[in-house]
Amino acid sequence: MSAHPGHGGQGGHPGPAVIVTGLRVEMAHGGGDIVDEVSFSIAPGEVLGLAGESGSGKTTVGLALLGHARRGARVTGGSVRVGAIDVLSLTDRELREVRGRIISYVPQDPAAALNPALRVGTQLREVLRAHRACASAREASERIVEMLREVALPAEPAFIRRYPHELSGGQQQRIALAMAFACRPRLVVLDEPTTGLDVTTQAHVLATVRKLAASHQVAALYISHDLAVIAGLAQRLAVMYAGRIVEVGAAAELLAAAAHPYTRRLVAAIPRLTGQEPLTGIPGRAPAPGDRPPGCAFAPRCELAAAECRTAMPALAVVGAAHLARCPRAAAGGAVTTGPAASRMAGLAAPAGTAPVLSAERIRAGYRDVTIVKGVSLAIARGECLALVGESGSGKTTFARAIAGLHPPASGRVLLDGQPLAATARRRPAEARRRMQYVFQNPYGSLNPRRTVRQIVGQPLRVLGGGTRQAADRRVAEVLEQVSLPPAIARCYPDQLSGGERQRVAIARALVSAPAVLICDEVTSALDVSVQAAIVELLTRLRADLGLAILFITHNLPLVGSIADRVAVMAHGQVIEVGATRTVLRHPSAPYTRQLIASAPALGPAGRAIPAWPGRGQPPAPAP
Amino acid sequence: MASARSGSPERPGKVPAGTAGDEARADPPGAPRGPARRARGGVARFLLRRALMSAAVLAAVSAVVFAATEALPGDPAQAILGRSASPQALAALRRQLRLNRPVLQQYWDWIAGLLHGQLGMSLAAQEPVTRLLADRLVNSGFLVLVAAAFSIPLSVALGCYAAWRRDRAFDHGSSIVLLVLAGLPEFVVGVLAVVLLATTVLHVLPAVSYLAPGQRPWSDPSALALPVATLVIAVAPYVARVMRASMVEVMESDYVEMARLKGLPERTVLLRHALPNALGPVFQVIALNLAYLAGGIVVVEYVFAYPGVGSALQAAVLAHDLPVVQVLAMLIAGVYVAANLAADVATILVTPRMRGQL
Amino acid sequence: MSGTGLPGPAWLPAAGQARGAGALRAALRLRRTRIGLALLALLTALAVLGPHVAPHSPAAFIARPDSGPSALAPLGTDYLGQDVLSRFLSGGGAILATAFAAALGGVIAGVALGLIAAYARGALDALVMRILDVILAFPPIMLALVAVATTGPSTWILITAVAITTAPRVARVTRGAAQPVVVRDFVAAAEALGLPRWRIVISEVLPSTLGPVLVEATLRLTYAIGLIASLAFLGLAANPNGANWGTMIQQNQTALAVQPWGVVLPITAIALLTIGTGLIGDGIARAFAGLDRGREPG
Ligand code: SF4
């Protein structure tokens, strides 16, 4: 590649701080490329967002910028230039000099990336020492204090002497930020640094990143699967799919008028706070490295695919001002077709005034001396979808498990069809166990890895009794079809499936006994956005087809607009606001809800900015 | 796949703690994150609790030893003297073993004696157990210490180096050698060593490590060479394998990758970031194997006719010399328990995270 | 997917086989597992068939003690004048049978205790583990020595003593492997369905712990063989004068210089046996590690 695509021509800037050309990373023992033909540049003080879903190779690119490849991978081509330094041609020794001083890295999971056996002060100091950034120990101490202030951490000696496990997740990530900016590098690679954090903490960390990058004129590569986060942070955006950059351009323009079919579908899959819109997922799954088709890797899932798409890999081509896309039909596409789901939500309203199918009364639950759920009452009508929203620590999952009989509550009761239920599932009648089903958060943990899909989905039928094996197998085939999985999948083991497929299997297991209520506990939080959208689509369709009531538990506020009739907001073990979805999202009454909405990163019509959170990363106590 | 380790949804099973589900399940309360200050008092309390627990285990061990030797159904006196024993001899033995008292009383007398240092009389040698074992204790202690001094650094170094050279020739080669050696019983190693170095093939070292009465083991290093080598070969492979596994895991961790991406010198990465975290589980194994040495000396001392407590135990068992067997069993179990206690303490001391949770 | 078309069946992986069985098959493809199995088979065959092909009775005195190889005794005679070859051919059965029985008993008891402790958690878990700690405070060989001190060795006492030393170690490994499994959501899913506890333990938890348990089982078999042989070597075989590899080594050790065969043959057999079981265990461990790696989607 000779051109450095899409660098915005904002006049007056010096040359780019970073120029990446034709980067290629392969699997170490053959088996093809992980990423290829990756080219971009970043100006000093600019944040380039690198977006992509699982397996797109975005982290591989980020690490290659530091001259690093993980076990099993090898950088085999291209160049990375930071100023005058050609990173990929450095010796190990020279690389050590560059890493941490000229190019630094902010990890995804600081809880794992900070050494548990060393104090945070030691870990900060050793970067300065390794790069001889400070003349004396005293100067280093001063620098550490300064660094901590910059990332809004208390710079007291007691804090510096803490171990990583003594900090909150947000504080750990800010330590990592301080470390990355310590030697005033020219390039910082941020690898999903806010993924594990609550929205409020996340908003603050993002504000810190932006401030640091701007004030020190550092070029930043911000890697994320979350376009909404990138929208508020990055000036420009590159989207990766199957190891290639498929589209690059100014962030606002790219999100408002995506050119590449994949980007368009991806944008359509993002839940928005601004209204009850149906989400549309992307059918199929992304090809794994080594398993990619010739030609355009998106072709098997692309509605616009033509014969020539399957033979030759299209090149990045200009589609607008400093806007490139890797698709010859990029400009031709119109709006994304949203399919028949668009009209479904409108027809779905819970019948008013019917008796609730499931209700919980004054549930209190916790562990020994700690009460996590402090008297929560909620009721769900037949066919209704109620979203229960709260940040981690709010007690929402404990509440859901108490309803399902997995976590006996200290007091309060659960009624199904008006009948009170025993505290533990084992003591509930089979009919109650049949009519209420639970779908777990993490499809990688909720399916027994040693069983086939048929055995997993058929388990409720075996346990709850009734029917022959043939009848059970027929029923399993039926629900697999309901969740849009091909029949052949019944013979597979969970490890052969993608995350989205696994979650569909988990939903099929919940559906197989024809329940009346589904408790969905963060069922999309472990999934990519496009897969999340597809699961939400599926749940919406199932509601319409089967008249299911759903308790949809999530931390993701924008998501509820696309699925729920009513929303209950939970904080500190209590429900602080309940109401119709539209009302709560548009006119929240509790201050906590307002703050939650304000700090949720969202794709506004023009890529709204993220407000800085004034607090210290803790949600405020709920208003009484 | 390399790319499987990137973005959050790409790491199944490890859902980010924040977005994921709820606090409650991942992090049971009662172990809240506390400031470092709490640790001090916690460590003291932890030590006390562990010491008390060890004492309780030893008490239970004494009950097992007593039950296995004297309280089993049947008449120990008859079993010891054989069917042809005269009634007088049987009666005398019963009196000496206090078999005519109630079982609990017998047990109590025995424990009280142990605690007062009255270890009883050997049936075979007809002399106090204390006198019989004093020298042998020194001999065995010396043997175990020398074996430990060689085997621990050797195995830790081997394991670390193999992990560092992971999947290279040294790693593969050492893995096979260690695997083969790890399963061999000590006496096989010992006798093979005798065949190779002392009798049949070469004649460079003495086949037996006999010590004249009053002779100290350190006076003749060549006599110690084979028993020490045998013990090292019995223990080191296992420890080295665990060390390697632990080190490999730590080298794969995010914080080691992060240390490299910070541009730290490789030596700092290995010695400061990797090793302390890898040593945690290894302490347990070192302790287990120190303790294992305490058991291994039974066989090794017998192979080399080395006058220690191990060969004494073998002789006492063959001679049904119950008082000696009981004392030695308690002694070796005590070493075992003490080694495990030390390992727990060491693990806590190198793991700040555990210190915080006490 | 709202009717946009299902993904074609082309991406569907070949239907899998049962995971545990798959790993065992993968283990069989490793060279070390094959060598290990070959060694184990060879020595088992030797122990089983040996007594039938031995030229003499193992207890017959056929020549002068410690005589060299001759037409009558191809490998010479031992310290009593019995045929070394015949005693070697007859001496494996006792060790192998006792060790197998002890390891099997210990593994079954240990797996049961470990699973119960891991699934019950709380007080029952603590109680079981404390009891096991007491047994773990004895070096393996000590418990057997104490057990035979009064009444002398009998086959049943040896089997019981070795099984008792084996069980806690297996229980620890099983519990360790089961602990991350019992908190996974597929166990909660079974609980929400109201599946009885014992069925959850057996059908949901146990299969996922199979890898570490099998590895530990082969390791324990290795150690059981070593223990039983060591006891015989210390003069504590069930039959003190019977043909037994351990006993042979003890009895002929003093005459090593003049008649090495009486020591070298049985010691080689025991070494190869323990090496064989060790290799099998390592092969299984590698195969299951590969299985677990493969589970992460690429
Ligand atoms: S190149 Fe063809 S298949 Fe690929 S995105 Fe464009 S239209 Fe679709």
Instruction: State whether C185 and A405 contact (CB < 8 Å).
Output: no
**Rounded Cα distance, A619 and B334, in Å:** 53
- For B347, name the nearest residue in chain A, comparing CA atoms only: A117
- Tens of pLDDT along A73-130? 888 888 899 888 888 888 888 888 889 889 999 988 888 888 888 888 889 988 888 8
Instruction: Compute the distance between CA of residue A582 and CA of residue A587 in angstroms, rounded to an integer.
Output: 8
What 8-state DSSP symbol labels residue A528? -
Is A226 part of a structural domain of the chain? Answer: no
Cβ-based neighbour number of residue B125 at 10 Å = 16
Beta-carbon contacts of A216 under 8 Å, excluding residues fewer than 6 positions away, are A181, A184
CB contact under 8 A, A339 and C2: yes
Beta-carbon count within 10 A of B95 CB: 11
Give the side-chain half-sphere CA count within 13 A for B148.
19
CA distances from A8 to A65, A249, B22 (A): 21, 8, 43
φ, ψ dihedrals at C250, nearest 5°: -60, -45
Residues B78-117 have pLDDT tens digits of 666 666 777 787 777 777 767 677 778 778 888 887 787 7
From the DSSP assignment, how many helices (H) and strands (E) are in chain A? 21, 22
Residue C194: name the closest of A432, B210, B264, A329 by CA. Answer: A432
Distance CA A322, CA A22 (A): 18
Is the C-beta atom of A242 inside 6 A of ligand 1? no
Binary contact (C7, A492; C-beta < 8 A): no
Lookup: tokens for A418: 């008006």
Q: How far apart are the first and last CA of chain A?
A: 61
Q: Could B17 and A196 be called an inter-chain contact, meaning their C-beta atoms sit closer than 8 Å?
A: yes
Q: What's the A236 CA to ligand 1 centre distance in angstroms?
A: 23
State whether residue A464 sits within 8 Å of chain C by CB: yes
HEC letters along A43-70: CCCCEEEEECCCCCCHHHHHHHCCCCCC
B74 to B67, B77, B78, B124, B282: CA distances (angstroms): 12, 9, 8, 21, 44
CB of C214 closer than 8 Å to CB of B297: no
Range of the domain at A158: 117-181
Q: What are the tens digits of pLDDT across the range A557-586?
A: 888 888 888 999 998 888 989 888 888 888
- Looking at the complex, report in whole angstroms how far the Cα of residue B257 sits from the nearest Cα belonging to chain C: 19
From residue C75, alpha-carbon distances to C78, C87, C260 in Å are 9, 11, 9
pLDDT of residue A3: 41
Q: What is the pLDDT of residues C67-117, one digit of tens each?
A: 777 777 777 777 777 887 888 888 888 889 999 999 999 999 999 999 998
**Residue in chain A nearest B258 by alpha carbon:** A113
The whole-number average pLDDT for the span A415-434 is 87
* Nearest-CA distance B127 → chain A (Å): 54
Is A608 a member of any domain? no
- C287: tokens are 């195969």
Three-class DSSP category at C12: coil
Q: Tell me, yes or no, if A498 comes closer than 8 A to chain C by beta carbon.
A: yes
Q: For the whole model, what pTM was predicted?
A: 0.79
Q: Are A229 and A601 in contact (CB under 8 A)?
A: yes
Decide whether any atom of ligand 1 lies within 6 Å of the A304 Cβ: yes
Specify the amino acid at residue C295.
R
- Residue B82 contacts A, CB cutoff 8 Å: no
CB contact under 8 A, B70 and C253: no
- pLDDT score for C260: 79
Residue of B nearest to A122 (CA): B272
Question: Which single residue is written with the structure tokens 């759903």?
Answer: A550
Taking the CA of residue A333 as reference, the ligand 1 atom at the shortest distance is: 7
Check if C129 contacts B (Cβ < 8 Å). no
Question: Which pLDDT value is given to residue A550?
Answer: 92
Q: What is the rounded CA–CA span in Å between residue B349 and residue B189?
A: 36
CA nearest to A447 within chain C: C186
B contact chains, 3+ CB pairs < 8 A: A, C
If you count them, how many residues does chain A have?
624
Nearest by CB to C186, which of A426, A448, A464?
A448
Strands A85-86 and A103-106, by their bridges, are: unpaired
Stretch A429-451: mean pLDDT:
87
In chain A, the number of structural domains is 2
A241 lines ligand 1 (CB under 6 A): no
- Say whether residue A500 is in contact with chain C using an 8 A CB cutoff: no
List the strands of the sheet with A236-241, edge to edge: A103-106, A187-191, A219-224, A47-51, A236-241, A244-250, A323-325, A317-320
In angstroms, the CA A228 to CA A271 distance is 9
CA–chain centroid gap for B260, Å, is: 36
User: Would you state the pLDDT for residue A238?
Assistant: 93
pLDDT at C126: 83
By CB neighbour count within 10 A (0-12 exposed, 13-18 middle, 19+ buried), where does A469 fall?
A: exposed
Identify the CA nearest to B121 among candidates B336, B324, B315.
B324
Q: Pairing relation of β-strands A18-27 and A73-82?
A: antiparallel
> Tell me, what's the pLDDT at B30?
32
- Gap from CA of B31 to ligand 1 centroid (Å): 53
What residues of chain A lie within 8 A of the CB of B272, using their CB? 118, 126
Q: Supply the DSSP symbol for A99.
A: B
Helix (H) or strand (E) run with residue C179 in it: helix C155-182
| pLDDT, mean of residues A420-443 | 88
Nearest CB to C192; choose among A283, A425, A499: A425
Q: Which of A435, C29, A19, B299 is closest to B309 using CA atoms?
A: B299
Amino acid, res. A149:
R
Residue B15's pLDDT is 31
Alpha helices per DSSP H over A137-286: 137-150, 157-160, 169-181, 199-215, 227-233, 251-256, 261-268
Return the pLDDT at B26: 31
- pLDDT band at residue C42 using 50, 70 and 90 as cut-offs: very high
- Residue percentage of chain C with pLDDT more than 70: 90
Three-state DSSP at B42 gives: helix
Predicted local confidence at residue A255, as pLDDT = 83
Q: What is the CATH number of the domain that holds A476?
A: 3.40.50.300
Structure tokens given for C38: 């070959």
Closest CA to C135 of C108, C170, C94: C170
Kindly provide the ipTM of the predicted complex, given to two decimals: 0.80
C128, C113 in Cβ contact below 8 A? yes
Q: What pLDDT score does B21 carry?
A: 31
Q: Is A219 helix (H, G, I), strand (E, B) or coil?
A: strand
CB A306 within 8 A of CB A330: no
What is the rounded CA–CA span in Å between residue B166 and residue B134?
47
Q: In the predicted model, what is the mean pLDDT of chain C?
A: 80
Residue A434 lies in a domain: yes
Closest CA of chain A from C260, distance in Å: 50
Is the distance from CB of C238 to CB of C102 less than 8 angstroms? Answer: no
Query: According to DSSP H, which parts of chain B are helical?
Result: 23-26, 38-66, 76-81, 87-96, 103-115, 129-164, 169-183, 186-193, 221-251, 254-261, 266-268, 275-303, 309-318, 322-350, 352-356
Give B79 to chain C, closest Cα distance, Å.
5
How much is the pLDDT for C11? 36
Q: For residue A545, what are the contacts with CB-CB under 8 A and spacing of at least 6? A: A482
State the Cα–Cα distance between residues A327 and A260, nearest whole angstrom. Answer: 6
Interface of B with A in 8-47 (CB under 8 A): 8-10, 12-25, 28-30, 33-36
> Can you give the pLDDT at residue C292?
54
Q: What are phi and psi of A578, to 5 degrees?
A: -135, 140
pLDDT single digits (tens) A222-266: 998 888 788 878 889 999 998 899 999 988 888 888 888 898 888
**Contact partners, residue B131, CB within 8 Å, separation at least 6:** none
Q: Tell me the pLDDT tens digit for each residue of A330-365.
A: 764 444 444 444 444 444 444 555 678 898 888 888
Task: Give the Cα separation of A377 and B53 in Å (integer).
Answer: 45
Residue A325 domain-assigned (yes or no) = no
- C-alpha A387/C-alpha A578 separation (Å) is 10
Whether B311 shows a pLDDT value over 70: the answer reads yes
How far is ligand 1, taken at its centre, from the CA of residue A532, in Å? 23
Model pLDDT, residue A247: 92
pLDDT band at C7 (very low <50, low <70, confident <90, very high): very low
CA geometry: angle A480, A483, A487, nearest 5 deg: 30
Per residue in B263-273, pLDDT tens? 888 888 888 88
Provide mean pLDDT across the span A62-67. 91
Q: Which residue has the higher pLDDT, C193 or B39?
A: C193
Domain B134-357 in this protein, CATH class: mainly alpha
> What are the C-alpha distances in Å from B8 to residues A203, A527, B119?
18, 9, 64
Tell me: the pLDDT tens digits for B154-194?
A: 888 888 888 888 888 888 888 888 888 888 888 888 888 88
**Predicted pLDDT of residue A457:** 92
* Residues facing A75 on adjacent strands: A25
From the CA of B19, how many Å to the nearest CA of chain A?
6
Q: How far is CA A379 from the centre of its chain?
A: 29
Q: For residue B195, list chain C residues with Cβ-Cβ distance below 8 A.
A: 256, 260, 263-264, 267
Per-residue pLDDT at A333: 44
> What domains lie within chain C, and their CATH numbers?
36-292 (1.10.3720.10)
Whether A309 is in the pocket of ligand 1, judged by its Cβ within 6 Å, is yes
pLDDT at B156: 86
Does any ligand 1 atom lie closer than 6 A to the CB of residue A175? no
The contacts of residue C100 (CB under 8 Å, 6+ apart) are: C221, C224
**Interval between CA A543 and ligand 1 midpoint (Å):** 33
Distance A56 CA to ligand 1 centre (A): 17
For residues B352 and A103, the model is more confident at: A103
**Above 70 in pLDDT, residue B38?**
no
pLDDT at res. A509: 92
How far, in Å, CA of B172 to CA of C130, rounded? 38
CA A34 to ligand 1 center in whole angstroms: 20
Structure token digits, residue A266: 């991806």
**Tokens found for residue B70:** 């004297």
Neighbours of B139 (CB within 10 A): 26
Give the pLDDT confidence score for residue B8 in this predicted structure.
32
Q: How far apart are the first and last CA of chain B?
A: 39
Please give the average per-residue pLDDT across A16-27, as a whole number: 89
Q: Are A432 and A421 in contact (CB under 8 A)?
A: yes
Give chain A's radius of gyration (CA, Å): 25
* Average pLDDT score over residue span A34-45: 89
Burial level of B22, CB count in 10 A (0-12/13-18/19+)? buried
Q: What is the pLDDT of residue C150?
A: 75
pLDDT at B256 over 50: yes
Percentage of chain B with pLDDT > 70? 78
A481-519 tens-digit pLDDT: 888 888 888 888 887 787 888 888 999 999 888 899 999
User: What mean pLDDT comes out for the span A197-207?
Assistant: 79
Alpha helices (runs of H) in A406-528, residue ranges in sequence order: 430-435, 453-464, 469-482, 499-511
Q: Is the per-residue pLDDT at A71 higher than 90? A: no
- How far is A203 from A614, CA to CA, in rounded Å? 10
Residue A99 lies in a domain: no
pLDDT higher than 60, residue A617? no
* Statement: residue A367 has pLDDT above 90: no
Question: Would the pLDDT of C166 be above 50?
Answer: yes
Contacts of A545 in chain C (CB under 8 A): none
